[in-house]
Amino acid sequence: QVNLQESGPGIVKPSQPLSVTCSITGYSIITSYFHWNWIRKFPGRKLEWMGYICYDGSIYYNPSLKSRISITRDTSKNQFFLQLNTVTTEDTAVYYCARGKYYGSHYYVMDAWGQGASVTVSS
Partner 1 sequence: DIQMTQSPASLSASLGETISIECRASEDIYSNLAWYQQKSGKSPQLLIYAANGLQDGVPSRFSGSGSGTQYSLKISGMQPEDEGDYFCLQGSKFPYTFGAGTKLELK
For partner 1, the binding residue among 13, 74, 108, 120 (CB under 8 A) is 108
For partner 1, the binding residue among 49, 55, 59, 70 (CB under 8 A) is 49
SS3 call for 47: strand
For partner 1, the binding residue among 63, 88, 90, 123 (CB under 8 A) is 63
**CB distance 65 to 51 below 8 Å:** yes
Is residue 59 left, alpha or beta, with left meaning phi > 0 and alpha meaning psi from -120 to 50? beta
Least distance CB 38 / partner 1 (angstroms)? 11
Q: What is the largest CA-CA distance in the chain?
A: 47
Binding site for partner 1 (CB under 8 A): 4, 39, 45-49, 60, 62-64, 96, 98, 103-104, 106-116
